[in-house]
Amino acid sequence: MTEERKFRPPATDWVRSQLAEIDKAGDTRVVGINGMAVIVMTMKGAKSGLWRRVPVMRVEHDGRYAIVASKGGAPEHPAWYHNLTANPDIEIQDGTETKPFRVRELSGDERAEWWARGVAAFPPYAEYQTKTDRQIPVLVAEPVA
């Protein structure tokens, strides 16, 4: 028997709107951010235990995904970053496919490599880093067998 999931509604109108369009089409390719592709992460909340769905930029390489916790260069991490570090088992919808993944935070050369991929996919990340004193976290989502 699978776990019944209770979802927390998105806090912002643009996320609610994007998720509604994705759900209607069954495909993440119907929306984007600044004209660029997104994926949808489904994760369990760190404090509430409620499930959340969050669209983020699509940065894919060899079946893995970079997840860049930029929050537009804000001084604090996005709320979902804490969910991922507390509960690293997530699902990712890319296009019409949804699969399980496990997330881990990167450092050193591996972070630099994935950061470059992120900036190549979504150039505003480079500007976001200049707006904040924190190093923007980069995580990688790897398929679960």
Summarised one tens digit per residue, pLDDT across range 77-101 is 999 999 999 999 999 999 999 999 9
Is the pLDDT confidence value at 111 over 80? yes
Q: What would the mean pLDDT of 120-128 be, rounded to a whole number?
A: 95
> What pLDDT sits at residue 2?
56
**Pair 45, 51: CB distance under 8 Å:** yes
Is the pLDDT confidence value at 3 over 80? no
Q: Is 13-143 assigned to CATH 2.30.110.10?
A: yes
Residues 6+ apart with CB under 8 A from 33: 55, 57, 122
For residue 44, CA distances in Å to 3, 50, 71, 76, 109 come to 12, 6, 19, 20, 29
Q: pLDDT above 70 covers what percent of the chain?
A: 98
> What pLDDT sits at residue 134?
96
If one compares 141 and 145, the residue with the highest pLDDT of the two is 141
For residue 38, CA distances in Å to 25, 95, 140 come to 14, 9, 15
CA 55/CA 58 separation, integer angstroms: 9
Q: Where are the domains of the chain?
A: 13-143
Residues 6+ apart with CB under 8 A from 38: 18, 28, 31, 32, 55, 56, 57, 58
pTM over 0.85: yes
User: Where residue 113 falls among pLDDT bands split at 50, 70, 90?
Assistant: very high
**Pair 56, 42: CB distance under 8 Å:** no
